[in-house]
Chains A and B, each alone.
Chain A
Amino acid sequence: MSTLIIGLSLGMLLFLLASGLTLIFGMLGVINFAHGALYMLGAYIAFDIGRHTGSFVAGLIGATVLVALAGALIERLALRPLYDRPHFYQLILTFGVILVISEVVKVVWGLGYQESTMPPALAGTVDMFGSTIPVYRLFVIGFGALVSGGLFLLIEKSTFGMLVRAASSDGEMVRLLGLPVASVRMAVFALGSGLAGLAGLAGAIAAPLFPIELGMATNTIIDCFIVVILGGLGNIRGAVAASLLIGLVRAIGYSYMPSWVDILTFSLLIATLLTRPQGLFFRATRSA
């Protein structure tokens, strides 16, 4: 049972991350390599705000908003001039962004590991189904479910979501109709980045889940890509399912054969690519 909870919380954390990545890809067609770096930035910012104010909520808002701002800045300054060029320019540009963000983190916070503390309200454990489960993991699961629901409503039901979807399928036409496509793109990038910052916070206070360190940007982004590919590029529903799948595979792997976990997830990826290259949860209809 506790393995299931660990798997679900891990999966939700992955979803917070991967949803931003898949959102940006689905709507802008940009594969954002710097997503892991933004996640790392979120973790460090949340850690710092939490340390200074002692407030969990302040860290949550701060990390999300600041990373979203960073994302908007990246989109405006670096990506916007590149939309007309071949796709790989955007890809390699975001690689440059990783280097810069990693260095900024090194300058501001140094090289060491950071210790973070859990807010007292979430630090306890509860007994459920005959096993002891940390409240924090339940919180991550609930929080992830909340965000995925909100994201779904935003993209599928709101006017903003409709505008985003229209802009992604025919940006030129939407622009000619007098709608601010450039701002919509910036907003989507900021939203995706904000989700990465949020995930950074979730990872930050869950330091036992993932330590806050410089390697977290690169280690995480690979897992994220696996989720996005398994779920189908740009498919948010697929990303939910794939995150939970990878989370469970990892949790089960950790408890039964810890040294094979990475190999296991990669094998899952390779098997998927060989049999269903368009993703496990691909449907012929429009993807959200």
Chain B
Amino acid sequence: MNASRFDLWLGLPLAAIALLLPFTGPSDFMLNLATLVMIWAIFAIGFDFVFGLLGMVSFGHASFLGLGGYALALATQLWGLPFCAGVCLAIAAGALCAWLFSFFALVTLALSQLLYILADSKLRAWTGGADGLPGVARPGLGGIDFFDSTLFYWYVLAVFVLVMAAVVMLRRSPFGRVIAGIRQNETRAEQLGFDVHRYKQITFIVSGGISGLAGALLASLLMYVNPQMLHWTTSGDVIIMTLLGGAGTLWGPVIGVLAFEVLKEWLSGWTQYWYGILGLIFILATLFFPKGIVGELQERYGQWRDKAARRDGRIS
């Protein structure tokens, strides 16, 4: 199976849509939705590093997202730092938090709920409590007005492409191979002399950093942060998205976010109880389509290629 060609075939139409969307005269709502999907996709990609590549489930990723958001808000508002520095701080905050969490594999859920409670009440002076912090900055770059939805869309798209490129390189690097090896057989990886715990920790840190970046962008898009970003249901949402799309595949998290948001828009227009129906879809997907949309497609594609190869007589 040629996975990278499959990824290319899947990526091309997505790239075309992303590039052409601003020229089709979309409404502000559409543009903001597309921007939101890309930001959540960055978050899901970061999450999938731990979930799909390493094969560990984390219920604490909302913390990295939320800390990223708060880091940007505080950096730009309280300390008057430029946007870029704020984003760097957000990545660092997400990574640092992930490093701390990596010592508590089992209870990331409890720890992340602790952060939620702290942000919601104890640290009110900093975080604005349950009301959150309004007025989070948009990027400032050579006098371009990023408060314009279209321009901000391009900004996020650029960041998204950079993240995607970095992820492709990481997955293909020796580091990525070791991670995949650990998922397949941890004992074997350890016996081969790899420091499994260290690799896991680094994966967590990378994942946290990407999530922190997504948090900063999300805060910037909404121009607002609140403790909901830290709440454990946010961690749950990203699990649903990644699993729906296909954990461990390159485009799975992206397609998953897209599917989640489309389903949400569609179902919430139809019934107020959309979250429960989504839960039902999620249960059915876990039971019958554990590979997710992209995982299933990839398998079909592989079978199709094998069949074609056999027909051409390249494989007997």
**Cα distance, A259 to B123, chains bound together (Å):** 12
Q: Does A102 contact B (CB under 8 A)?
A: yes
Residues A92 and B57 in contact in the complex (CB < 8 Å), given A100-B280, A262-B114: yes
Q: Does A54 contact B (CB under 8 A)?
A: no
Interface residues of B in 107-162 (CB under 8 A from A): 107, 109-111, 113-114, 117-118, 121-122
> Contacts of B55 on A, CB cut-off 8 Å?
86, 88
Stretch at the interface among B26-34, B75-83, B172-180, B282-290: B282-290
Q: Is the CB of B117 within 8 A of A96?
A: no
Binary B-proximity of A86-111 (CB < 8 A = 1, otherwise 0)? 10110111011111101110110000
Q: Is the CB of A222 within 8 A of B110?
A: yes
Residues A89 and B286 in contact in the complex (CB < 8 Å), given A225-B110, A259-B122, A269-B110: yes
Report B307 CB to chain A, min CB distance, Å.
28
Partner of A78, one of B57, B276, B283: B283
Q: Is the CB of A95 within 8 A of B110?
A: no
**Cα distance, A107 to B109, chains bound together (Å):** 28
> Contacts of A95 on B, CB cut-off 8 Å?
236, 239-240, 282
**Cα distance, A270 to B104, chains bound together (Å):** 9
Q: Is the CB of B232 within 8 A of A218?
A: yes
Interface of chain A: mostly helix, strand, loop or mixed? helix
> Contacts of A135 on B, CB cut-off 8 Å?
none
**Cα distance, A100 to B284, chains bound together (Å):** 12
Q: Is the CB of B110 within 8 A of A96?
A: no
**Cα distance, A56 to B164, chains bound together (Å):** 59
Partner of B282, one of A99, A218, A270, A273: A99
> Contacts of B282 on A, CB cut-off 8 Å?
95-96, 99
Report B236 CB to chain A, min CB distance, Å.
5
Q: Does B243 contact A (CB under 8 A)?
A: yes
Q: Does A82 contact B (CB under 8 A)?
A: yes
Report B97 CB to chain A, min CB distance, Å.
14
Binary B-proximity of A123-156 (CB < 8 A = 1, otherwise 0)? 0000000000000000000000000000000000
Q: Does A157 contact B (CB under 8 A)?
A: no
What is the chain A residue whose CB lies nearest that of B231? A218
> Contacts of B107 on A, CB cut-off 8 Å?
225, 229, 269, 273
**Cα distance, A24 to B277, chains bound together (Å):** 26
Interface residues of A in 37-54 (CB under 8 A from B): none
Q: Does B106 contact A (CB under 8 A)?
A: yes
Q: Does B304 contact A (CB under 8 A)?
A: no
Report B56 CB to chain A, min CB distance, Å.
8
> Contacts of A16 on B, CB cut-off 8 Å?
none
Q: Does A120 contact B (CB under 8 A)?
A: no
Report B224 CB to chain A, min CB distance, Å.
22
> Contacts of A93 on B, CB cut-off 8 Å?
283, 286-287
Residues A97 and B283 in contact in the complex (CB < 8 Å), given A91-B57, A92-B243: yes
> Contacts of A208 on B, CB cut-off 8 Å?
none
Partner of B239, one of A92, A222, A225: A92
**Cα distance, A259 to B118, chains bound together (Å):** 11
Q: Is the CB of B275 within 8 A of A103?
A: yes
Residues A106 and B114 in contact in the complex (CB < 8 Å), given A78-B283, A225-B109, A273-B104: no
**Cα distance, A222 to B110, chains bound together (Å):** 6
Q: Does B273 contact A (CB under 8 A)?
A: yes
Q: Does B11 contact A (CB under 8 A)?
A: no
B residues in contact (CB < 8 Å) with A: 55-57, 104, 106-107, 109-111, 113-114, 117-118, 121-122, 232-233, 236, 239-240, 243, 273, 275-280, 282-283, 286-287, 290
A residues in contact (CB < 8 Å) with B: 78, 81-82, 85-86, 88-89, 91-93, 95-100, 102-104, 106-107, 218, 222, 225-226, 229, 259, 262-263, 266, 269-270, 273
| 10 A-B pairs in the complex with CB atoms less than 8 angstroms apart | A92-B57, A92-B286, A95-B240, A96-B279, A99-B236, A100-B276, A106-B273, A107-B273, A226-B110, A259-B122
